[in-house]
Amino acid sequence: MYGATTEAAQTADERQEARADRRQPSPEQPDRSLTWRTLGLDAMASMLVVSLRRLGRTGFTAQCQWPRFHPLNERAIAVAHHPLIMVESTRQIAVALERGHLSAEGLAPLEPVAVSLGLQPRVWPTERGSATDVAVRVSVSDHATQAGELAFYRITAEYRHAGTPFGSCTMRMVRPAHLGAPCALAVPPPALLHPPAAALGAAADTDVMLARAPQGRLAIVPRDPRHPVLTAGRTARLPAPAVLEAARQAALLTSGMTAAAVAGLRVELRAPVPPRGALVEVTPESEGFRVLVTVSDQVVALGTVALLRP
User: Coil, strand or helix: which one is 110?
Assistant: coil
Q: What is the mean pLDDT of the chain?
A: 85
Angle at 63 between CA 260 and CA 155, to 5 degrees: 75
Instruction: Quote the pLDDT of residue 144.
Output: 86
Instruction: Quote the pLDDT of residue 45.
Output: 82
What is the torsional sign of CA 257, 258, 262, 266? positive
Instruction: Quote the pLDDT of residue 11.
Output: 43
Instruction: Quote the pLDDT of residue 102.
Output: 82
Instruction: Quote the pLDDT of residue 183.
Output: 60
Closest CA to 93 of 144, 158, 142: 158
Task: Say how far apart CA 58 and CA 24 lie, in whole Å.
Answer: 12
Residue ranges, the chain, pLDDT below 50: 1-28
Instruction: Quote the pLDDT of residue 219.
Output: 93
Instruction: Quote the pLDDT of residue 19.
Output: 41
User: Coil, strand or helix: which one is 201?
Assistant: coil
pLDDT digit string (tens) for 156-211?
Answer: 999 999 999 999 999 999 987 777 665 656 666 665 789 999 999 999 999 999 99
Closest CA to 72 of 234, 244, 195: 244
Instruction: Quote the pLDDT of residue 235.
Output: 66
Q: Which parts of 196-282 fold into alpha helices (H)?
A: 240-255
3-state helix, strand, coil in the chain (%, to 5): 25, 35, 40
Instruction: Quote the pLDDT of residue 187.
Output: 64
pTM for this model (two decimals): 0.85
Q: Which amino acid is at 148?
A: G
Closest CA to 87 of 199, 274, 230: 230
Instruction: Quote the pLDDT of residue 5.
Output: 38
